[in-house]
């Protein structure tokens, strides 16, 4: 009996005491903060297993208002429960996007007090149903685009939605993680206009979708630095609001990138974000679409519609596996911005992730501090593909 009591005490001491400690926001350890965007209609147990096998820890999924509330005041989550219930079996967590209009409530976009109240009721029901399941809640998707805001985008309207909805969500569960913005690219006027209304008082994180057409992912560094400065300018004293990349990918359609280049970019995107202090990256997207509604949108997947892997799948699996359990430490100076060498640590062990965006294979001389990764004269050959190297 005494042994059992002591065991219970030790268990309590070793178990995180709060929900946020048990389900924290990810840090810079691979692959805590890497995941994929998924489409509900394409998700089943095979997909969840295949996603887990890549090393991913997150899925991002639309939790659409009109699918949940098909009759006014009646909220049903049966279309989503099988996927959400399957996440724990596969070691995955969810970013659930609360978004879009609802015919049952007569709301195309929640830009009026009545529309915001109806949307807030939906958001509260969602939190009530899925609270304490490790979810990060994201309010809307790309509200700076008329395609998703269903009209002329308006930063004031979006900020008013956030400021009304978040307190209602926190009344249901005060310790949930909530993020917002989710802008298409770094829309600085939209982002700062929202910040000026005080939305950072409500949010734990700011999400952005840093698409840059077919350009190299390393070009994102200056944008993340600018966002960091804006957050620091407007966040409440004593609060740290995290930057998050909640969607970003490259399409392999006819005017996009090759499958090989998509693979190179997938790994470089994740690692470039880590180097910029952005610990969570969601790749868009998991699977190519089987329909032909849009050639570009159809081909962002890292697997084909039949789950056959593309180069991005295999590259991410290799890089994530190679760095698993290692925490980003620093970027080494190779003399220019095109050549990248990132140092990762786990205890006293180090690994190097290195590549060039120069467009050609090249040989560089590593700093003396990295001599263990190229003991023969410190010469190291960089390619456009990420190499993960253990020290000798």
Ranges of each domain in the chain: 20-325, 329-390
What is the reported pLDDT for 4?
46
Question: In Å, how far are 153, 197, 223, 375 from 275, measured between CA atoms?
Answer: 32, 30, 13, 25
Residue 383 and residue 356 in contact, taking contact as beta carbons nearer than 8 Å: yes
What is the reported pLDDT for 323?
98
Alpha helix (H) residue ranges in 294-356:
311-323
Two tokens at 91?
């070691």
Two tokens at 219?
């070009």
What is the reported pLDDT for 220?
98
Long-range Cβ contacts of 39-46 (<8 Å, 24+ apart): 39/285, 39/286, 39/287, 39/289, 40/67, 40/79, 40/80, 40/83, 42/286, 42/287, 42/289, 42/290, 42/305, 43/83, 45/86, 46/307
| Beta-strand pair 177-184/205-209 | parallel
What is the reported pLDDT for 293?
60
**Any idea which architecture 329-390 has in CATH?**
Sandwich (2.60)
Counting every residue, how long is the chain? 392
Q: Which residue has the tokens 């407007």?
A: 234
pTM over 0.85: yes
Beta bridge partners of 35: 58, 282
What is the reported pLDDT for 8?
45
* Three-state secondary structure call for residue 167: helix
Question: One digit per residue, pLDDT tens: the chain, 392 residues?
Answer: 444 444 444 444 445 579 999 999 999 999 999 999 999 988 899 999 999 999 999 999 999 999 999 999 999 999 999 999 999 999 999 999 999 999 999 999 999 999 999 999 999 999 999 999 999 999 999 999 999 999 899 999 999 999 999 999 999 999 999 999 999 999 999 999 999 999 999 999 999 999 999 999 999 999 999 999 999 999 999 999 999 999 999 999 999 999 999 999 999 999 999 999 999 999 999 999 887 567 899 999 999 999 999 999 999 999 999 999 999 999 999 999 999 999 999 999 999 999 999 989 999 999 999 999 997 788 999 999 999 999 86
Q: In sequence order, what are the residues at sequence separation of 6 or more whose Cβ sits closer than 8 angstroms to the Cβ of residue 70?
A: 76, 104
What is the reported pLDDT for 277?
98
Sheet arrangement for strand 387-390? 327-332, 339-346, 349-356, 387-390
Residue range 20-325 forms a domain whose CATH class is: alpha beta
Beta bridge partners of 321: none
């Amino acid at each position: 009996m005494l042994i059992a009591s002591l065991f219970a005490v030790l268990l309590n001491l070793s178990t995180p005491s709060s929900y946020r400690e048990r389900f924290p926001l990810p840090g810079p350890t691979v692959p805590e903060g890497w995941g994929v965007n998924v489409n509900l209609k394409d998700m089943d147990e095979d997909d969840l297993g295949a996603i887990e096998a890549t090393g991913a820890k997150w899925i991002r999924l639309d939790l659409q208002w009109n699918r949940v509330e098909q009759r006014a005041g009646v909220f049903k989550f049966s279309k989503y429960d099988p996927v959400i219930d399957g996440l724990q079996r596969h070691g995955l967590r969810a970013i659930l996007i609360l978004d879009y209009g609802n015919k049952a409530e007569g709301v195309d976009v929640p830009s009026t007090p009545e529309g915001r109240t109806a949307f807030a009721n939906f958001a509260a029901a969602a939190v009530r149903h899925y609270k304490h399941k490790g979810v990060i809640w994201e309010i809307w998707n790309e509200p700076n685009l008329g395609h998703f805001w269903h009209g002329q985008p308006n930063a004031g309207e979006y900020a008013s939605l956030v400021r009304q909805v978040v307190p209602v969500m926190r009344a249901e569960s005060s310790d949930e993680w909530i993020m917002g913005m989710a802008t298409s690219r770094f829309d600085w006027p939209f982002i700062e206009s929202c910040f000026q209304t005080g939305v950072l008082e409500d949010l734990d994180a700011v999400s952005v979708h840093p698409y840059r057409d077919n350009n190299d992912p390393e070009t994102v560094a200056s944008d993340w630095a600018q966002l960091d400065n804006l957050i620091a300018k407007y966040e409440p004293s004593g609060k740290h609001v995290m930057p998050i990349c909640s969607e970003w990918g490259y399409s392999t359609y006819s005017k996009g990138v090759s499958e090989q280049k998509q693979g190179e970019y997938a790994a470089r995107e994740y690692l470039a974000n880590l180097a910029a202090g952005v610990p969570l990256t969601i790749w868009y997207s998991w699977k190519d679409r089987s329909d032909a509604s849009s050639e570009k949108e159809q081909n962002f997947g890292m697997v084909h519609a039949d789950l056959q892997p593309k180069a991005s799948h295999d590259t991410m699996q290799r890089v994530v596996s190679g760095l698993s359990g290692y925490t980003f430490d620093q970027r080494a100076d190779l003399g220019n911005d095109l050549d990248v060498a990132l140092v990762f640590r786990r205890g006293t062990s180090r690994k190097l992730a290195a590549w060039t965006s120069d467009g050609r294979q090249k040989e560089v001389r590593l700093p003396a501090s990295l001599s263990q990764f190229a003991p023969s004269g410190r010469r190291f050959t960089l390619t456009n593909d990420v190499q993960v190297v253990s020290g000798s």
